[in-house]
Amino acid sequence: MDRIVDGLAEVSCDVLVIGGGTAGPMAALKAKLKRPSAKVILLEKANVKRSGAICMGMDGLNNAVIRGHATPEQYTKEITIANDGIVNQKAVLKYAEQCYSIIQELDRYGIRFFKNENGDFAVKKVHHLGTYVLPMPNGDTVKKALYRQLRRAQLLISNRYIATRLLTGKDGRVAGAIAVNTRSAEFLVIKAKSVILCMGGTPRRGAWFWKCVMIEERSRPRL
């Protein structure tokens, strides 16, 4: 799996995914399945097998907006109310429209969700509008199942590298990243045609500084 050998200062790829929690592996897997010939690298500061907010018990993929139980509009309204209106409603609505198919896909991967006697997902009513909370009793199995899929797809994984800067081309577009090994302090330059940032849970785990630096670097105007 880890074909990026020690001491190699620079590599190139078609798609670079930064962040090995849950979103990162899914994004990398989708990119690889979309184009099997593409060189896809997944960069993670810890180990993809057991990294991310879900492995730390902080979050869960526990929403399934299923027709007949809830609508995407109901879900979006409830999430908006729960967050005092401070949400990106377009993103929440898009999630609500697609989350059921993702849950079905994860179920095929072997991730366990509560089901009723008929074998259907046992969604629970927690909010005022709609019924869409889906208990996931074994959240620790998410990363194990995803890792198996990554191995099958033969993705390139670089563990123990934390991205510190995004590379930009002359046109200002992101063209890769600079990373440092969290154990050996070696630097790695990754040039990529496309870069996907999947670092949603890092602020809550003490890596806020690095995320802010990278976002600032990405949005800084070029002279």
Q: How far apart are CA 96 and CA 63, in angstroms?
A: 8
pLDDT at 216: 47
82-108: pLDDT as tens digits: 899 999 999 999 999 999 999 999 999
Per-residue pLDDT at 222 exceeds 70? no
| CB 24, CB 17: distance < 8 Å | yes
10-37: pLDDT as tens digits: 899 999 999 998 899 999 999 999 999 9
Q: What percent of the chain has pLDDT over 90?
A: 61
Q: Which amino acid is at 82?
A: A
The torsion of the CA quartet 208, 214, 216, 218, rounded to 10 degrees, works out to: -150
Round the average pLDDT of the chain to a whole number and report it.
Answer: 85
Other beta carbons less than 10 A from residue 183's beta carbon? 9
Using DSSP's 3-state secondary structure scheme, residue 220 falls into: coil
pTM over 0.85: no
Q: How far apart are CA 16 and CA 137, in angstroms?
A: 32
CA geometry: angle 77, 87, 146, nearest 5 deg: 95
Q: Where are the domains of the chain?
A: 10-53+146-219, 61-138
Among candidates 93, 87, 26, 91, which has minimal Cα distance to 54? 26
Q: Which CATH number fits domain 10-53+146-219: 3.50.50.60, 3.40.50.620, 3.40.50.920, 3.30.70.2740?
A: 3.50.50.60
pLDDT at 9: 76
Q: What would the mean pLDDT of 180-190 be, rounded to a whole number?
A: 91
| CB 17, CB 28: distance < 8 Å | yes
